[in-house]
Structure formats: C-alpha cells, structure tokens
Amino acid sequence: MATKSFANDKYSILLPTYNEVENLPIIIWLIVKYMDDFGSPYEIIIIDDGSPDGTLEIAQKLQKLYGEDKILLRPREKKLGLGTAYIHGIKHSTGNFIIIMDADLSHHPQFIPPMIELQRKNNYDIVTGTRYINGGGVYGWDFKRKLISRGANFITQILLRPGVSDLTGSFRLYKKDVLQRLIESCVSKGYVFQMEMIVRARQFSYTIGEVPISFVDRVYGESKLGGSEIIQFIKGLVYLFATT
C-alpha cells in the first residue's frame, strides 16, 4: 500500500464571532500554539457579524500581531446567523480542509491535532468532536441545558439513526468539497443545522469519525440559545424525519 503524503494539506479554521471580545485573543493564541506545533499549513478566518462589543477591532490587532497570511478577516455588516457565516468563510478559504469551531473557548484547540490525525488514518470525509462517548464530556452547563442537549441527541438517534454520538455539536473537521455539498443541501437554520449536516452526510454515504472532546461552557459573554431555538430544533427534526 502506498503511503499518502499530507504535505499539500492545508487547514482553514473558521471562527464565527458575535460579541467575543474577551475570548478571541485567547482562542487565537491557543489555535496558533497547537497548529504551529502540529506543523501543517493553516489559516484562521474570522467572520465577525458587526459585534457591538468591538470584537472586530481586537481581531484587527491580532491580525497585525500574527500576520495577514495566518489571520484573515471576513466581517459582515450585521448579525446574519451561523449558517451563512460558514458559507461566507468557506468562500474565502484556501485550504482543502475546513475546521469549524466556536470562538467562545467551549471548543479547545488541543483537540484539533487528534481530529486531523484520525481523518488521515481512515481518510474520513468528516471528523466530529463528540461529548458523549469515550471520555468526552460537558462542563459548566446547568441541568436544563444538559437535558436539552442530551434529549435532542437521544430523540434524533431514535428517529433518524445517524450512527454518530454527538449531533448537535459544532466542532468538526471536513473535506472542503464535502462541506460545500452538505451546506448546499441543508435547508435548516439555527441549531438544527449541525444535526442536519450529519443526517445529510449519512444520506450521501460520507464517512464520519469521532474524537472525544471535553466541552466547557463559556466563561465570558452570552450564549445565543433561546426557547425559539428549541422549537426550531423540533420542527427541523420532524422535517428531516418526514423527508429523509
């Protein structure tokens, strides 16, 4: 068997931000530390949606500090939602792999190298971080939030049998062409979007690997999950159940 060379692989890390002024310098520092150590080429694309807290100004300072080849700024005028933020980021990416993660420090960059290694080992189309198997975990969430997340995963497992343990997580590595095709085929907005991506991936017979991650609730800033998101999720689930 010929060994595949990974020398041409480049990783585009998409960081959507809305009011992450405290978190951004730390997450960037950590990504740079772990990716420089790992040694593969990468870029970080920050998609800020007009955060009123000055996230973009901090991002500009970080760009000066780390360099324009490493940090790309692709801001938008106003808050247009996560789904379109990803599409916007992909458009400007130069890597053949895309990593999607939150900027609020819930997703620790230490898990990026194991995700890349697992992808390489099995040539997976997608590797997703999982909080729900083999040493993964959730820290800092109250009972209600844990119940919502577990409940959403549990119901989806029963209805759609996607064979992946964490459907609502958003810390993932994708082959770029795979992500593009998935995003084009997804209809939902909001939190259900992450789940639909996995369900569609199964439909297209993409292969998916899982890396256990510990998810830590944000310390700074506010979550954007509200009651309407839960309703949206249930609607999306019923839709997928009826159509896939």
Q: List the interface residues with ligand GDP, window 28-47 (CB under 6 A).
A: 47
Q: Is residue 223 near ligand GDP by the rule CB under 6 A?
A: yes
| Single residue of 40, 106, 128, 130 touching Mg ion by CB under 5 A | 106
The answer to whether the CB of 112 falls within 8 A of the CB of 83 is no
Reported as half-sphere exposure (CB side, CA atoms, 13 A), residue 134 has a value of 7
- According to the binding rule CB under 6 A, does residue 14 interact with ligand GDP? no
16 binds ligand GDP (CB under 6 A): yes
Lookup: tokens for 188:
């939902």
Residue 152 vs 182, nearer CB to ligand GDP: 152
Residue type, 31: I
User: Count of CB atoms within 10 A of residue 14's CB?
Assistant: 26
User: How far apart are CB 141 and ligand GDP at their closest, in Å?
Assistant: 10
Please identify which residue in 18, 171, 174, 193 interacts with ligand GDP, judged by CB under 6 A: 18
Specify the residue for token string 């890349």: 116
Fill in the per-residue mask, 193 to 232: x = in contact with Mg ion (CB under 5 A), - = not in contact: -------------------------x--------------
Out of Mg ion, ligand GDP, none, what residue 103 binds, judged by CB under 5 to 8 A for its kind, is ligand GDP
CA atoms in the 13 A half-sphere facing the CB of 31: 29
Residues in CB range of 20: below 8 A, 6 or more apart: 27, 51, 53, 55, 103, 104, 220, 221
Q: Is 106 among the residues that bind ligand GDP (CB under 6 A)?
A: yes
> Under the criterion CB under 6 A, does residue 104 sit at the interface with ligand GDP?
yes
**Counting contacts by CB under 6 A, is residue 81 touching ligand GDP?**
yes
Considering only CA atoms, which of 76, 118, 75 is closest in space to residue 97?
118
Q: Which residues contact 212 (CB under 8 A, 6 or more apart)?
A: 129, 130, 131, 133, 134, 135, 136
User: Per the structure block, which two tokens stand in for 5?
Assistant: 């060379």
Residues that bind Mg ion (CB under 5 A): 102, 104, 106, 218
Interacting residues with ligand GDP (CB under 6 A): 16-18, 20, 47-49, 79-82, 85, 102-104, 106, 218, 223-225
